[in-house]
A and B are shown apart, each in its own frame.
Chain A
Amino acid sequence: MRKYILKRIGISLLTVFVLATVVFFLARLMPGGPFSDPKISATARENLAHYYGFDKPLIEQYFTYLGNLLHGNFGYSTKYPGQTVNALLASSFPYSADLGLRALCFAISFGLVFGVMSALNRGNGIDLFFVIVAVIGTSVPDFIMGAILQHFFGYKWGLLPIAQYKDITYTILPSVGLGFYTMASVSRIMRASMLEVVQQDYIKTARAKGVSNFRITWKHQIRNAIMPVITILGPIVASVLTGTFVIESVFAIPGMGKYYVESVQNNDYSMILGMTVFYGAFLVFCNMIVDILYGLIDPRIRISK
């Protein structure tokens, strides 16, 4: 087990390193530079490049960057002069994390409940309703879902705030918009898993022993059916967190997604690198935790890997 965990950590570190390197060179390959306002004079551009150290040889910049990375220092943004990428991360990450966490909570809790209810009502109207919700949920891109939710619940009916992120009412639409796809997937998986579990012998045994229906559903069926959902937690976390890019721009939330897209559009090198490495490392970390957890839960995984 320890070997498995160590290996997993090693791969994660390697992943972050590769990501940091690839993104460093990709960013420098992007056409244009960070000081591309047409009004900036050529002299000012040279002065700025010198100021930020972009006039040094690329390899030297790369090693400086790696060195700084080891100290967790991402340098200064060029789009927001004087602000460190660390400070911008510190201010924006909580928003993304909060939104992502809420969306995850919504997706998993509602997905499980919908899946269970759907399975327990197999074949009747309730099942059909949940199946339709799930099927629609998995076929609508999140920016369309976000825009439609915002338009109806926020603008047309005035039930919830349209944009920004101030208190809990503000968080509902973005979390639902972000989590809907995942919610639908979880609900589908849960439903299928429930239906499979119900045919297992131990359920029949329990039923034969005269265990109450409620107890069977709660203690045997749901608990066993939840396992496949756990396996997709890793990809779910990744998809929800990348989804924040779009949802943040729809709902004017000052999270990382907004800053990332902005930095890419402005060739803000330190920002691109800082955001990507931090974000990538975070995702890698989430995946690692899920994998390790899953390895703990299911010994078969350790062997097959």
Chain B
Amino acid sequence: MKKTMKRFLALVVAALIVLGAAACTVPGQNEPAPQTGTTAQTPATPSAGGDTPATPATPATPAAPAEKIFRYSNLADAATLDPGKINSVPDATIGYHIYDPLYRNVQGSLEPATATSYDLSADNLTYTFHLRSDAKWSDGQPVTAHDFEYGIKRICDPAAASPMSYLMDVVKNGTAATQGEVSLDEVGVKAIDDTTLEITVQYPADYFLGMLSMSVFEPVRQDLVEKYGAEFGSAADKTVYNGPFKVTQYGEGRLVMAKNENYYDADKIKLDGVEIITVADPSTAVSLFEQGELDQVDLPTELAVQYLDQSLSYYSGADDYAALNHNNKYLANKNFRLAMNYAIDREEYILLSHEGLYQANQRYVLPQVRGVERDYGDEYPLEAFPLKADLAKAQQYLAAAQAELGFASPSDITLKLVVTDSDTAKKEAEIVANMWKNNLGINIDINLVPYATRNAMLVPNNPDFDIIMTGWAPDYSDPYSYLELWYSSSGYNYLNYHSDTYDTYLDTAKTTRGKPRMDALFGAESTLLEDGALVPLQLREVHYLVSDKVQNLQSYFIGLNYNYMFADKVG
């Protein structure tokens, strides 16, 4: 017994050594190669042995003309391909390229897509879209106005539970239907015939057409939703595509797209495919780019300084601020809030947190959003708070607050600052906490929480934080996208900011158009900042690297980050 057992053990050990050396195949390796094929640098080795030496460090030059595959990375896997459930910018970017909307928002200008023209009723409430008849899904079926109607109604359907239903507030009865108050039939969207779609909006909204690029307004095939049920869009073959690309592989840390030959403008699409891999660590992604495994990479700001001469940049639209909870005894005081604002040295903050590469934000609304005719920031310049800390002013406001609130010394005050546990957010919090401590003498207690926990705290009347590090990215190019948050009764008003002046300005903006509307919005923004309602910190300016081979890659700050629809890869 004992002897055989030992022999058996010896065998096990020997087997282990052999296994460790070469034998087992790498998972995913034996999967059918994506239809586009893989790139020269990443030879798929279908041999079961898996011992074919790959030479990733020295890419082999392919003999045949290589397929044009654009490769980039995202921090997380795409959550879904279902246009009704996409709710992050990187996923929306994918949605932008695999589905085709009525109109495309290309760098802020409106380009016809599946719709070729539209009529607007005299009361500015009803849009009638005329759709092209040659639009096809990747399975060959025609794209009709009914697909659009179904897609939009599905967002409003409480049973479908779309996380993005708040965007339907602009559509007539959209919010009411989501809340189950009216039936879906009453939602303001209707297919007149296969090529005519009528959308009625709740109130005149100049930015409505710009929103049509968003995934929620994409067409959806009712037959497929009924076929796959909850699993619609959860796999490459559980949805169909009407955009320039179609997904061929989705899962296991990668998403591969191939050119969609059924796309009506297919001859204008130069790329053969796109490959997106998930790399959670940004500096690993940079290394992959340097070794030629990626064609584009976003630079973390610490690394971006090393590549300043080669990198490009764009404003991501994200506007980061420290939100103050006005239910706190001290933060309810306007002078105290202003002291908090003047105590921040925004220049030094940007230097410490992002090597000076982000833009210090001295106002609230992203200046790049659309104003009446030009950028809002150009039409309505504002520097509510100085770039450097103004300690004299900060002390003055603090003294005023002390007189009003009657606290003995600022060192008696301890504020709880909540921040997510990401490295960057943590660093940003440490910087502002330090500035408040040193410049005002108050104590800041930093609480690290996971992302989901932080987000769950962003509701009105939440006593769990005094200060919370967060931000906002716009859904459409208009100051209102930022300003609507702080309307007294808004469901997002986690500042608990209540200002009649502010509310009046926003009410005015809802009923006017053009310059008077923009003036009202600017009035609201000024009021917000005069009250020091929050502490604006930075506008994110993403620095990224693109391979020389890639041409015509565009970046944008609303709804998507990169547009590679018409990109090309040469050499």
Contacts and interface: CB of A to CB of B under 8 A. Distances in A.
Q: Touching in the complex, A and B, CB below 8 A?
A: yes
Interface of A: 30-44, 47-48, 50-51, 76, 79-84, 87, 91-92, 94-95, 97-98, 101-102, 104-106, 108-110, 112, 150, 154-155, 158-171, 175, 223, 226, 230, 249-254, 258, 262, 264-267, 296-297
Contact of B20 (A33, A41, A102, A154): A102
B50 interface: yes
B458 A169 contact: no
B449 interface: yes
A95 B54 contact: no
Contact of A230 (B9, B43, B452): B9
Contact of B278 (A34, A108, A254, A266): A254
A81 B79 contact: yes
Interface string B226-261: 001011111100100000000000011110000000
Given A80-B79, A91-B251, A264-B450, A44 B13 contact: no
B273 to A, nearest CB: 17
A119 B258 CA distance: 57
Given A31-B456, A154-B287, A296 B52 contact: no
28 contacts: A32-B452, A32-B454, A37-B87, A41-B166, A42-B491, A43-B158, A44-B164, A44-B178, A51-B160, A80-B80, A82-B231, A98-B27, A101-B24, A155-B287, A158-B58, A163-B287, A166-B28, A166-B54, A167-B45, A168-B51, A169-B54, A170-B54, A171-B26, A223-B10, A230-B9, A254-B252, A264-B450, A267-B453
B424 to A, nearest CB: 15
B76 to A, nearest CB: 7
B525 interface: no
A47 B179 CA distance: 8
Given A33-B456, A43-B178, A162-B284, A109 B252 contact: no
A36 to B, nearest CB: 4
Instruction: Point out which of B27, B449, B491 has the most chain A C-beta atoms below 10 A from its C-beta.
Output: B27
Contacts, number: 229
Range of interface residues on B (Cβ < 8 Å): 35 or more
Contacts of B279: 163-164, 252
B253 A167 contact: no
A252 B440 CA distance: 43
Contacts of A168: 22, 26, 50-52, 54
A102 B253 CA distance: 20
B491 A41 contact: yes
A112 B22 CA distance: 18
Given A44-B165, A158-B57, 19 more contacts: A32-B453, A36-B453, A40-B87, A43-B179, A51-B159, A83-B235, A92-B252, A160-B57, A162-B291, A162-B293, A163-B281, A163-B288, A164-B277, A166-B28, A168-B54, A175-B20, A223-B10, A226-B13, A265-B452
B162 interface: yes
Rank and list the top 8 A-B pairs by shortest CB-CB distance, nearest first: A105-B20, A254-B253, A82-B234, A32-B456, A94-B27, A36-B455, A51-B161, A158-B57
B28 A94 contact: yes
A287 to B, nearest CB: 17
B288 A36 contact: no
A167 B50 contact: yes
A138 B251 CA distance: 35
Contacts of A94: 27-28
B19 A105 contact: yes
Nearest to A107: B20
Given A38-B492, A44-B161, A165 B26 contact: yes
B192 interface: no
Contact of A258 (B165, B280, B450): B280
B566 interface: no
Contacts of A81: 79-80, 82, 85, 230, 233-234
Contact of A226 (B9, B77, B459): B9
A135 to B, nearest CB: 23
Contacts of B76: 262
Nearest to B5: A297
Nearest to A264: B450
B57 to A, nearest CB: 4
A175 to B, nearest CB: 8
Contacts of A76: 230
B455 A37 contact: yes
B287 A170 contact: no
A158 B290 CA distance: 11
Interface in B419-465: 449-459
Contact of A91 (B161, B252, B459): B252
B53 interface: yes
A83 B281 contact: no
Contacts of B234: 80-83, 87
B222 interface: no
Contact of A169 (B53, B228, B238, B455): B53
B452 A82 contact: no
A166 B42 contact: yes
Nearest to A162: B287
Contacts of A254: 28, 77, 252-254, 278
Contact of A41 (B165, B288, B456, B475): B165
Contacts of B228: 82
Given A80-B80, A105-B19, A254-B77, A39 B166 contact: yes
Of A43, A94, A266, A296, chain B has the most CB atoms within 10 Å of the CB of A43
Interface string B15-56: 011011110101111000000000000111100001111101
Nearest to B163: A40
Interface string B465-479: 000001000010000
A109 B17 contact: yes
Contacts of A51: 159-161
A260 to B, nearest CB: 13
A105 B22 CA distance: 10
A36 B162 CA distance: 13
Given A80-B234, A102-B20, A223-B10, A43 B165 contact: yes
Contacts of A80: 77, 79-80, 234
Nearest to A164: B277
Given A43-B179, A48-B161, A265 B450 contact: yes
Contacts of B50: 167-168
A82 B80 contact: yes
Contacts of B253: 164, 252-254, 258
B16 A250 contact: no
B175 interface: yes
Contact of B28 (A41, A108, A158, A165): A165
Given A36-B452, A162-B291, A254-B252, A105 B161 contact: no
B6 interface: yes
Contacts of A226: 9, 13
B175 A267 contact: no
Contacts of B475: 39
Q: Looking at B16, B51, B85, which has the most chain A CB atoms within 10 Å of its CB?
A: B16
B24 A102 contact: yes
Given A31-B453, A32-B455, A223-B6, A252 B77 contact: no
B380 to A, nearest CB: 25
Nearest to A169: B54
A158 B291 contact: yes
Contact of A47 (B45, B56, B158, B290): B158
Contacts of B233: 81-82
Contacts of A171: 26
Nearest to A250: B281
